[in-house]
A and B are shown apart, each in its own frame.
Chain A
């Protein structure tokens, strides 16, 4: 018996939830005023709701179908799983997207799919959905399409024309891991697809001689890596993502703490998802991309190539490099200000512009909206010095969470 739309929505959104990305940012600004249609994008994404897992719902994130010919151990939709199977018709996906959008539940669609029959067959149907939304319904909201490895160049070209972002998941940080857990997926094919996307994005980013740009995924490409399913340490993971950023110009690498799935494969650990580790990886990723840190600097501080779970990576780095502190907020260059624990990009810019007017005191920083709880030990300001705090052997204890006290029974 055919399952109802509601039942299938339940199955196909459940199947999509292990993809961490729900971003609707980074694309061109546009709206529906000229066309009189529906939809806009603001550059910055909007989260329309939050689920109790703390994740944002920005897009309708669903699978076209969760039938799949691959058997990737970590995936709920692998062919050996007994999970309930369903599929949407392209018309149903279009209808759901538009009706959800009209009620302001979402910013757009994030469509992925299990692989049915062949790569091209699957990709073609996904492209058709995006095309219908754009051309028949004048939809100007956000569309993120997952690209299927080995899909033909022609289909990728079309996908980029209609979608804001394209992505293909690297899944695991090493080729070895992929070989073990996703035997049918070839790391080389995944990398080839990413390389192909980078070339297309760059090619279309340049103006042609007529001055017009042909649209191709203006929101760029992203990928996802599962953390904690294989034995890769944080140094390996971050090394992999640094390589992906530099090789393929990715907008984002998402880290997804491996999470137990129903009818799990026997080959994988049934662990609690390492949420703090995931969080630390994102922090380290940020340091690498925006704060001028080298991956090696961040990962060599901890033990066995793992990040410190108790301290954020910037603080851990500062504690390991005390010799470079305290830093004078009134004199230090931007590069060094960015390395002070607790200071973000905005804070640093505010310091740089405010110190042209006067010598900054610790209280002044408080008014920037900066918490100086951490930073105060690492900086010198007008009337403030940490004195010998930095030399204290137990400095770490100032920051590390207090050990839980035992209770008398």
Chain B
């Protein structure tokens, strides 16, 4: 025996669900089901016939479905394809034996269900995109009123209406379609599944919109297929801008040809004035202090290739008459972004150590041996890479200028790179740490570890020890500074 179910079938899930529930409870196999859509002439079936439901056995108490099924069903039921009810019923029925059925996209029923749901979602998305409101006079003076006419493929008006409600909250609107209507008046969203006549309206804004459409189009890159796959012709008749498309296409080639043919003209007069102004700005303003001039020059440095990959030159900063100068290796990720030395994680450790040693960072001068961040890319991150001898050599020039300008009593070289840059030789830090090394111009150098090396130490206890030694070294630098005779600051 076959069971026939007659539905209105205009996107109402509840209607199908009530019927389907009863038949699944009675364990009626999909092969015995026939789903029929009520024709537009309702008297094809008499009222009694429609309400006739066979007496069904009640073999199951409850039906369970995964939440994903309901989501799919809500979409698929809005489709106009005649097999929508049958497909849904098949999946519902088999889900009772295999609750993971939905995961098998190679099953033909599941594939079809997804296809139905996707068609509906796409249609709904296109409705959100292609509905065009036109303004009409409103009796209520405090709210503006708009109407739209849209022709969807499926029964999606009710499903899509909340989108418009949430977006166009402060205006009254009506969207009419052959498959139902939706209207909002600021308090209630009313929807109907009945076909509606087309509201007549014209709107002057359409002309400005067409102006925009025509001018944002680039005639040199015609890609008609791309346009039509996303905006199929069936939608064009209700979109004011689409009327321009044929002419835009037709004239595109000639417009490009004219662009090519046109001779370059003389630049307008204001161009000359601007160019002169630029030239004047290009020179280093002479009012800058010697340090600012140095900073300005360093910012333009292209002596090695590091500048191409880094954000900016990270020059030294601090007191330009400081008696202690700290030199690190090179800026890290954070320093590169901010343009300031020692502001990242290593900078934080450095600051803590200065605090512990009782030094005010504002009274010292802090810089790096290399002024650009050298790194390698690992996926979405930048990892520090040690600068090579050549890069250090190029950047020594700037460090020498900084030394000459600040003229400190003591220079603290943090790490091997700083030592190499200051002394010109490579030595293991452990060998030279702690003992004052005399440099040219009566400057004393002290060598210590780089704070980043402390951060890299995985053993927490050893790390703590290194930290203590680092603070001691900084203290030693201040003591050394205090024992040295006062220097003559003027060259």
A residues with a Cβ closer than 8 A to B are 5-6, 9-11, 13-14, 16-18, 31-33, 35-40, 42, 46-57, 60-62, 69, 71, 79-82, 96, 99-100, 102-105, 138, 174-175, 183-184, 188, 191-192, 194-196, 198-199, 242-243, 245-247, 249, 257, 259-266, 270, 272-273, 275, 350, 353-354, 356-358, 360-361, 363-365, 367-369
Contacts and interface: CB of A to CB of B under 8 A. Distances in A.
A275 B106 CA distance: 36
Contacts of A9: 208, 211-212, 215
Given A39-B167, A105-B209, A263 B216 contact: no
B271 A79 contact: yes
Contacts of B114: 369
A33 B166 contact: yes
B209 A246 contact: no
A47 B379 CA distance: 31
Interface residues of B, number: 96
A260 B104 CA distance: 50
A368 B111 contact: yes
A55 to B, nearest CB: 8
B380 A249 contact: yes
Contacts of B133: 102-104
A10 B210 CA distance: 10
Contact of B259 (A18, A96, A264, A354): A264
Contacts of A103: 132-135, 146, 203, 205-206, 209
A195 B343 CA distance: 14
B105 A354 contact: yes
B252 interface: yes
Contacts of B207: 6
A79 B106 contact: no
Contacts of B290: none
A72 to B, nearest CB: 12
A125 to B, nearest CB: 19
Q: Which of B220, B270, B308 has the most CB of A within 10 A?
A: B220
Interface in B134-169: 134-135, 144, 146, 148, 163, 165-169
A192 B339 contact: yes
B218 interface: yes
Given A17-B218, A53-B219, A184-B278, 15 more contacts: A6-B211, A31-B166, A32-B167, A37-B170, A54-B222, A54-B224, A54-B230, A103-B209, A188-B313, A195-B312, A242-B377, A246-B379, A247-B337, A259-B218, A367-B108
Contacts of A53: 217-219, 221-223, 227
Contacts of A360: 106
B274 interface: yes
A369 B118 CA distance: 11
Interface stretch (B73-81, B260-268, B410-418): B260-268
Chain B interface mostly helix, strand, loop or mixed? helix
Q: Which of B103, B167, B267, B378 has the most CB of A within 10 A?
A: B167
Contacts of A272: 220
A171 to B, nearest CB: 15
Contact of A81 (B214, B267, B339): B267
Chain A interface mostly helix, strand, loop or mixed? loop
B336 interface: yes
B356 interface: no
A5 B211 CA distance: 10
B58 interface: no
B481 interface: no
B343 to A, nearest CB: 10
Given A33-B165, A48-B129, A51-B248, A273 B220 contact: yes
Nearest to A30: B166
A96 B245 contact: no
Contact of A102 (B105, B171, B212, B381): B171
A353 B307 CA distance: 47
A56 B230 contact: yes
B131 interface: yes
Given A32-B169, A354-B103, A263 B262 contact: yes
B256 interface: yes
Given A14-B215, A71-B275, A263-B265, A52 B205 contact: no
Contacts of A71: 271, 274-275
Contact of A82 (B135, B245, B268, B377): B268
Contacts of B111: 367-369
A104 B146 CA distance: 11
Contacts of A192: 311-312, 339
A272 B218 CA distance: 12
Contact of A57 (B213, B224, B225): B213
B192 interface: no
Contacts of B382: 246-247
Nearest to A105: B209
A339 B222 CA distance: 32
B52 interface: no
A14 B146 CA distance: 29
A357 B312 CA distance: 54
17 contacts: A9-B215, A10-B211, A17-B216, A32-B170, A36-B169, A103-B132, A184-B278, A188-B312, A192-B312, A195-B311, A195-B339, A199-B337, A245-B380, A260-B220, A270-B260, A354-B103, A361-B106
A292 to B, nearest CB: 9
Contact of A354 (B104, B167, B213, B239): B104
Contacts of B278: 183-184
A17 B134 contact: no
B311 A199 contact: no
B245 A52 contact: yes
B226 interface: yes
B213 A51 contact: yes
Nearest to A16: B216
B63 interface: no
Contacts of A270: 259-260
Nearest to A186: B300
A194 B205 CA distance: 37
Given A79-B270, A367-B106, A264 B264 contact: yes
B157 to A, nearest CB: 15
Given A40-B167, A51-B217, A52-B249, A368 B225 contact: no
A35 B168 CA distance: 11
A97 B91 CA distance: 47
B397 interface: no
Given A17-B218, A60-B212, A368-B106, A266 B264 contact: yes
Interface in B86-134: 100, 103-108, 111, 114-115, 125, 128-134
B105 A199 contact: no
A273 to B, nearest CB: 5
Contacts of B107: 367
Nearest to B337: A195
B349 interface: no
A104 B245 contact: no
A46 B223 contact: no
Contacts of A259: 218, 220-221
B26 interface: no
B309 interface: yes
Contacts of B146: 102-103
B297 interface: no
Contacts of A195: 311-312, 336-339
Q: Which of B148, B168, B206, B338 has the most CB of A within 10 A?
A: B168
B437 interface: no
A79 B226 CA distance: 34
A262 B105 contact: no
Contacts of A42: 163
B231 interface: yes
Contacts of B144: 102
Nearest to A363: B106
B241 interface: yes
Given A46-B128, A102-B146, A52 B252 contact: yes
Nearest to A349: B105
Interface in B165-223: 165-171, 186, 203, 205-209, 211-223
